[in-house]
Amino acid sequence: MFSVKCLPKDANVFFSGGWDSTVHIWDIQVNGGSARKINGPVVSADSLDIKNNLLLAGNYLNNDIVQLYDFGSGQLIKTLDIGEEQNSKSYCFAASYAHNSEHNLIAVGLTGSNTVKLLLNE
């Protein structure tokens, strides 16, 4: 699985992630591969998003299912509690911010339990 997103405020930058535990940040003005990377997320399907410099990563793991990273530094900020037991049969298949909301609302689609969770990140 693989996910690609464009940086909303800079048309030259996009980011991608997959099962290799890495999110690559690409800049079309930089030759020779990705400009930098964030280590950690095992991204599946459409589970990357960004809002206010917070990278949302849904993991295809049955623990640490949804995480937030600082886009600039690449540091893990926190793992969100999505109400699923660690090591359950649920994995993130899709994750997205509600971009038009004034709240930090996140929608997460899970395989295994076949549910959609709405999270308020405070």
Do 49 and 42 meet the contact criterion of CB atoms below 8 Å apart?
no
Q: Give me the chain's average pLDDT, please.
A: 89
Residue pLDDT, tens place only, 30-66: 887 889 999 999 998 899 999 989 999 999 887 888 9
Write down the residue that tokens 């999505």 correspond to: 82
Number of domains into which the chain is organized: 1
28 has pLDDT over 80: yes
Could you tell me the residue range of the domain that residue 49 belongs to? 2-120
Q: Which residues pair with 120 in a beta bridge?
A: 105
The CATH number of the domain holding residue 18 is 2.130.10.10
pTM given for the model: 0.90
- Interval 85-113 mean pLDDT: 85
- CA torsion sign for 29, 35, 41, 45 is positive
